[in-house]
Structure 1
Amino acid sequence: MKHVIMGTAGHVDHGKTCLIKALTGTDTDRLKEEKQRGITIELGFARLSGSEDLEIGIVDVPGHEKFVRHMLAGASGIDMVLFVIAADEGMMPQTVEHLEILKMLHIEKGIIALTKIDLVEEEWLEMVKEDVRESTKGTFLENAELIEVSSQTGYQIDYLRARICEMAEACSLRREEEELLRIPVDRVFTIDGFGTVVTGTLTEGSIKTGEEIWIYPSERKVKVRNLQVHGKPVKQATAGQRTAVNLAGIKKVDVRRGEVLAAPFSMEKSRMLDVRVSMFDTAKRPLENGARLHLFYGSAEVLCKAVLLDADILQQGQSGFAQLRLEEDIAVKRGDRFILRFYSPLESIAGGVVLDPVAPKRKRFQETALDALKRKDEGSGKEVLEQILLEESQKFPQERLLARKWGGLRTEAAELLREMEELGTAYRIDKDVYLHRDFLRTVQTTAEQILEDYHEKNPVSGGMVREELRVRLKNGLHASDMRPMDALIAGMIDRGILKEAGNTVALSGFSIQYTEEQRQIRDAIEEIYQKAGVEIPESEEVIDGFKDKALARQMIERLCGEGVLVKLEYPNYMHSETIGWARQILKETIAEKGQITLAEYRDKIETSRKYAMMILEYFDREHITKKNGDARVLWE
């Protein structure tokens, strides 16, 4: 079944609620105060069945200027509008304001209902119709059908109902994937025996009984106990339905109007939004940089400061980029629409669209930032995702994070990322971690600078220890996570930018070129260890014998890298010829006797227990021998 949400709009006392009652039989004024005052104060709801395959949910909004915030809560998320104008009054201030709001919320379908037709003369009616047509020029209602009706006499009510159903059939289907679930909460109450209940329009996705969902921006986990749609219990509700959700595990005081029910991890709380702001054509005052405003989005309202990024002031009808810095946490998605009202006096002045729901703090008039915002505003889905990838690469983003910032399904984001990978725009360093090619260049430049500096300071070292490069690369990239560094280093080795030898990494074009002085030190150190045999000196003793101690220390490591020396355990090194001789003695003895004790080995190589133990423990670590009681045997 297709589900469509229609909202009403128009000035107070123009007959919206009476018209809905005439169309549906439902009186949407449910509050005692509404009955007494004869005006709508809170949102009202009704249902209109178009056919077996079509259900229209109707949101009746207040028309009084004091309740514009409630009108905004109702207008967000509607598919089409029933724009109500009383024939005896015509266009009025709230009529104009509601029209501006609907334009900014990107509503594209609507019918104009001219009510109270039984109260006016034909000549007056024609004047009103002409005024309506003039006032809606250049808007989505410019060519909308204008239908004259009377809720009292029933004049053309059936025709209006039929036209509403026809328009609803033409509305685009909302997306129903569970991952996209969103219900902006517009009412919270309790029912004895059931607990906390929230209501709202299911703007996208679907929801089932028994599943776990989250409340944003508080990020509370809750379970769906029961669901109702228009008063009837259901197991599942889908996009386009007015839905009541009975939540388990939460009290009424812990959830409030303006919060959002959504799929787990599908949103992120924020206090900074990058947006495009468009001023109303009827705005009476300009928007200046730094102005304090009321931000209305979904069913919520929050105070914010508007930082204009590409202008000092926005006049009537103008548009520009801005950053909204909020006074409390909110949760929105890229592409969400909003309305701005002045802090005081309350006056609707602008609307806009969210370009980045979790933005970094920005400076004004920065060309790079403005180019990025323009791309997010005007680019295709792939272009926007590429821009997000570029901005997020420093965080080594997974598909899930990229999809969340992009505002779409993870599978859709993954498909676009694979396309970018094929084009060379994106680079995958893990199963679902992607980097932009521009950031990859930064990684490469950073690694090259680190190793160039290392090679300059350590000319006889074959390369930097891999673990040290991991740490330095992470710090150089200002990354928060160490884990991707191995993949980055491995990728640069695969692409021939770096080379590895053992546990060290060097620039691919680096090779050691000894100076005469370095060659002399190298040969002197090798001679020391050759002459020492098995009774080796500690490395610090060797280093102390040279004037350039740093170079001597590097040369010992270099000799290890060349295979000339073998590190038994720091600070003990042995010449490879000596360790080879010691290994041969060991194997011959074990071959003859089946095993060898420490004392026997000490006597065989004619040294002290200390050096014999050191050598045997090295052979154990190298899996040449293993202990068998007090003796050692060959490793099988």
Structure 2
Amino acid sequence: MIVGTAGHIDHGKTTLVKALTGVDTDRLPEEKKRGISIELGYAFLDLPGADPAKAEAAASIGFIDVPGHERLVHTMLAGATGIDHALLLVAADDGVMPQTREHLAVLSLLGLREGAVVVTKADRVDAARLAAVQAEAAALVQGSSLAGAPVLTVSAHTGAGLAELRERLWTAARSHAGRDARGDGAFRLAIDRAFTLGGVGTVVTGTVHAGRVEIGDELVRVPGGQRVRVRSLHAQNRVVEQAETGQRCAIGLVGLAKDEIARGQWLVAPAAMLSTDRLDASLTLWHDEAKPLRSGTPVHVHIGAIDMPGTVAILDGHEEGDRLMPGASARVQLVLRSPVGAWHGDRVVLRDASASRTLAGGMVLDPHAPVRYRRTPQRLAELSALALPTLPERVAALVDVAPHGVDLARLAAAQGQSLASLLSGLDEAVTLRTPDGWALGAVQTALAGEALLAALARFHAGHPEELGPDAARLRRLALPRLPEPLFRALLARLQTDARLHVRGAFVHLPEHGIKLSATEERLAQKVSPGLAAAGFEGAWVRDLARDTQESEPLMRVTLARLAQRGELMQVVKDLYYPPATMARLCSIAREVAHAHDGEVTAARFRDATSLGRKRAIQILEYLDRIGLLRRIGDVHRLRADSQLFRDGAASPRPEDTTTITPAAAS
């Protein structure tokens, strides 16, 4: 458990931590000279019965001592976002002061509900004054998240009240152990300090917000994306093999220099790697604010251990318009100056543009906030789904309301979870799922299927002479906003259910087909050997006409009709390939892609097929058009979801793979 002290400057925070733990958290020379805390300080208190020799990191309490000066509230926030239990200090001789109120606002807006109010310096005042300050402190926390918290009195000088406070903290720590719902998530640590240690190298410290980490694990710095390896671990001031949620942790790193690290960055498991400069959150304006919060207001956004300038936009419609009234809550979008690490459930606090007072606080709903259509009913329904309390509920509700499906891998990262953890929470309401992690709800699957079949029927009515559109064209006609992996999965399902047929790259309804004339059937038989013998070079209309001694115009029309039936592939004008040859070319393209991280270049494909560069480029461009590859710059990337010319999926019929046979349209 992590305990954080809060309160006005010189109200005894550092002194109390030292009295409880024996550790002076003021470590900087300037702090010693001025007698005030400037940076975050850390100390640890062993629970009774814990055996330090066994390195029981879970058997100790970590303390974060924060500065109390008004100009250092940003530093206080860097420590406060990681605490589990708050101690709000009020000096008996001063009473409640301005930073007492602001620190209470910070704790409340961070959602902290566990803690106590500690009246310090009890030995400096008489009983009447002490009772008055106790009453004032108890009244102060009413209406905050710490309402009803016990009010204790202590004196670090005489030791009065320290035993009772220690016992309360030990009890809280025991009840807190193992309760954190984020423990099974992907590892995330908010960095608040970095230094170099002789014999170890770069060391970062912070509070573990979620998950577990072990020596040897690979982590990622966010923002930045640089991968590092864990060399050593200290948790709760002990050498350990593993650290977990709710602990203060120091990590020795391999692969990162101290100068590359700044407070506010994160170390995360690769599964949770993301950064964002735009996030949607639920937000509550502090009830003591004098004015409403309006859209467009510049603010300081505190999340994790970082302070980032940004602006706020109110998403929910209210009678008051684009403004949030004191004490009210709403969904908002925060637009940040630079990318930060942020995940669903993280607490966020806003301070005004001059960083002079705390305004509002809340919780991140979606770090992948959209730039456009951010206030539509559809988007607000998605945010309502993301506000549900448990991960399975959020996933199921989001899939249920998303008209174009959900990228589950992207959602898992935003939730701070692995994809496997997220998939385990999906129920039968998800009726369409792809191997690479897309999901579409039951209602949406049915509607998309009907839209696709209706588009096919319209195409057949307008182009009766054609077998059907290729799959890429059909997607543009029927479901242009449906992600391609889901479209391909839907196509495969409809094909399995015999509601449509796929021949080569072409799609058609079962009842639709193209009939050949007797002359075209005769020509189809004559050109079959020439097409097969042409190999990877393909066959030209003029060459087939010459070899069969047929009219070139008639040959051109016949081959075009065969291509419309899906029995030939026209790569460029007048150049044709039979399905069996194209299937082998697709297989080679896949092999090249798998050997080169999914990329196919013209040179590599040329070498693999022994073709000339021009023909290799023509074939690759054809594979782009039919959806096997995607052109990105000078390379073609394999579409991982494409089933074209794979056995049993979107491939030609067996009788079409060796010879062209005239057949009645089906």
Which TM bucket (shorter chain)? Answer: 0.7 to 0.9
Q: Does structure 2 conserve the Cα–Cα contact (< 8 Å) formed by 1:450 and 1:473? A: no
Q: 1:474 to 1:404 in 2, by over 3 A?
A: farther
Paired position in structure 1 for 2:29: 32
For 1:414, which of 414, 423, 426 is the aligned residue? 423
Q: 1:511 to 1:429 in 2, by over 3 A?
A: same
Q: 1:503 to 1:164 in 2, by over 3 A?
A: closer
Q: Distance in 1 between matches of 2:138 and 2:249?
A: 36
Q: Distance in 1 between matches of 2:13 and 2:111?
A: 21
Q: Does structure 2 conserve the Cα–Cα contact (< 8 Å) formed by 1:8 and 1:83? A: yes
Whether 1:201 and 2:212 are equivalent positions in the alignment is no
Amino acid at match of 1:456: A
Paired position in structure 2 for 1:22: 19
Paired position in structure 1 for 2:3: 6
Give the alignment's Cα RMSD to 1 decimal.
Answer: 3.5
Q: 1:477 deviation in Å? A: 4.4
Q: Distance in 2 between matches of 1:150 and 1:572?
A: 90
For 1:488, which of 480, 487, 490 is the aligned residue? 490
Whether 1:372 and 2:379 are equivalent positions in the alignment is no
Q: Distance in 2 between matches of 1:503 and 1:7?
A: 63
For 2:553, which of 517, 522, 541 is the aligned residue? 541
Whether 1:272 and 2:278 are equivalent positions in the alignment is yes
Paired position in structure 2 for 1:518: none
Q: 1:454 to 1:160 in 2, by over 3 A?
A: same
Q: Distance in 2 between matches of 1:443 and 1:342?
A: 47
**1:186 is paired with a residue of what secondary structure?**
strand
Q: 1:334-374 CA deviation, whole Å, 9 max, x = no partner? A: 01101001112532100011000111114464222222222
Amino acid at match of 2:507: V
TM-score w.r.t. the length of structure 2 is 0.74
Q: Distance in 2 between matches of 1:374 and 1:623?
A: 57
Paired position in structure 1 for 2:299: 293
Q: 1:501 deviation in Å? A: 5.4
Q: 1:160 to 1:524 in 2, by over 3 A?
A: closer
Unmatched 5+ stretches in structure 2 = 51-58, 528-544, 569-573, 579-654, 661-666
Paired position in structure 1 for 2:456: 451
For 2:43, which of 43, 46, 56 is the aligned residue? 46
Q: 1:386 to 1:17 in 2, by over 3 A?
A: same
Structure 1 residues 165-174 or 207-216, which shifts more? 165-174
**1:114 is paired with a residue of what secondary structure?**
strand
1:188-587 pair list within 5 angstroms: 188-310=194-316, 311-344=321-354, 346-363=356-373, 365-378=375-388, 380-389=390-399, 397=407, 399-417=408-426, 419=427, 422-423=428-429, 425-430=430-435, 432-441=437-446, 443-445=448-450, 447-464=452-469, 468-470=470-472, 472-473=474-475, 477-478=479-480, 485-500=487-502, 504-510=506-512, 522=517, 536=548, 538=550, 540-542=552-554
Number of aligned residue pairs: give it: 549
For 1:622, which of 640, 644, 658 is the aligned residue? 658
Q: Distance in 2 between matches of 1:172 and 1:534?
A: 84
Q: Distance in 2 between matches of 1:241 and 1:456?
A: 67
Q: Does structure 2 conserve the Cα–Cα contact (< 8 Å) formed by 1:284 and 1:349? A: no
Q: Does structure 1 conserve the Cα–Cα contact (< 8 Å) formed by 2:506 and 2:566? A: no
1:121-136 pair list within 5 angstroms: 121-136=126-141
Structure 1 residues 132-141 or 383-392, which shifts more? 383-392
Q: Does structure 1 conserve the Cα–Cα contact (< 8 Å) formed by 2:439 and 2:486? A: no
Amino acid at match of 2:141: T
Whether 1:165 and 2:162 are equivalent positions in the alignment is no
Q: 1:240 deviation in Å? A: 2.3
Q: Distance in 2 between matches of 1:559 and 1:33?
A: 83
**1:103 is paired with a residue of what secondary structure?**
helix
Q: Does structure 2 conserve the Cα–Cα contact (< 8 Å) formed by 1:175 and 1:205? A: no
Q: Distance in 2 between matches of 1:307 and 1:559?
A: 54
Q: Distance in 2 between matches of 1:529 and 1:195?
A: 74
1:146-165 pair list within 5 angstroms: 146-165=151-170
Q: Does structure 2 conserve the Cα–Cα contact (< 8 Å) formed by 1:212 and 1:223? A: yes
**2:102 is paired with a residue of what secondary structure?**
helix
Q: 1:451 deviation in Å? A: 2.1
Q: 1:127 deviation in Å? A: 2.0
Q: Distance in 2 between matches of 1:80 and 1:501?
A: 64
Q: Does structure 1 conserve the Cα–Cα contact (< 8 Å) formed by 2:500 and 2:510? A: yes
Paired position in structure 1 for 2:106: 101
Q: 1:475 to 1:336 in 2, by over 3 A?
A: farther
Q: 1:265 deviation in Å? A: 2.7
Q: 1:179 to 1:474 in 2, by over 3 A?
A: farther
Q: Distance in 2 between matches of 1:300 and 1:538?
A: 77
Unmatched 5+ stretches in structure 1 = 515-520, 563-568, 574-618, 625-636
Q: Distance in 1 between matches of 2:253 and 2:21?
A: 29
Q: 1:405 deviation in Å? A: 2.6
TM-score w.r.t. the length of structure 1 is 0.78
Q: 1:163 to 1:535 in 2, by over 3 A?
A: closer
Q: 1:308 deviation in Å? A: 1.1
Q: 1:359 to 1:484 in 2, by over 3 A?
A: same
Q: Distance in 2 between matches of 1:205 and 1:558?
A: 55
Q: Does structure 1 conserve the Cα–Cα contact (< 8 Å) formed by 2:234 and 2:251? A: yes
Q: 1:522 deviation in Å? A: 3.9
Q: 1:407 deviation in Å? A: 3.3
Amino acid at match of 2:25: T
For 1:112, which of 104, 117, 120 is the aligned residue? 117
Q: 1:469-523 CA deviation, whole Å, 9 max, x = no partner? A: 14542686457976665433211112343134576431245467x9xxxxxx946
Q: 1:528 to 1:254 in 2, by over 3 A?
A: closer
Structure 1 residues 231-240 or 267-276, which shifts more? 231-240
Q: 1:26 deviation in Å? A: 1.0
Q: Does structure 2 conserve the Cα–Cα contact (< 8 Å) formed by 1:429 and 1:488? A: no
Q: 1:233 deviation in Å? A: 3.0
Q: 1:438 deviation in Å? A: 4.8
Q: 1:71 deviation in Å? A: 0.8
Q: Does structure 1 conserve the Cα–Cα contact (< 8 Å) formed by 2:468 and 2:564? A: no
Q: 1:21 deviation in Å? A: 1.0
Q: 1:432 deviation in Å? A: 4.6
For 1:73, which of 69, 75, 78 is the aligned residue? 78
Q: 1:542 to 1:324 in 2, by over 3 A?
A: same
Q: Distance in 2 between matches of 1:231 and 1:406?
A: 29
Q: Distance in 1 between matches of 2:204 and 2:566?
A: 70
Q: Distance in 2 between matches of 1:498 and 1:485?
A: 14
Q: 1:338 to 1:523 in 2, by over 3 A?
A: same
Structure 1 residues 318-327 or 169-178, which shifts more? 169-178
Q: Distance in 1 between matches of 2:210 and 2:486?
A: 35
Q: 1:317 to 1:362 in 2, by over 3 A?
A: farther
Aligned-pair identity in percent equals 33
Q: 1:395 to 1:194 in 2, by over 3 A?
A: farther
Higher Cα radius of gyration: 1
Paired position in structure 1 for 2:192: 186
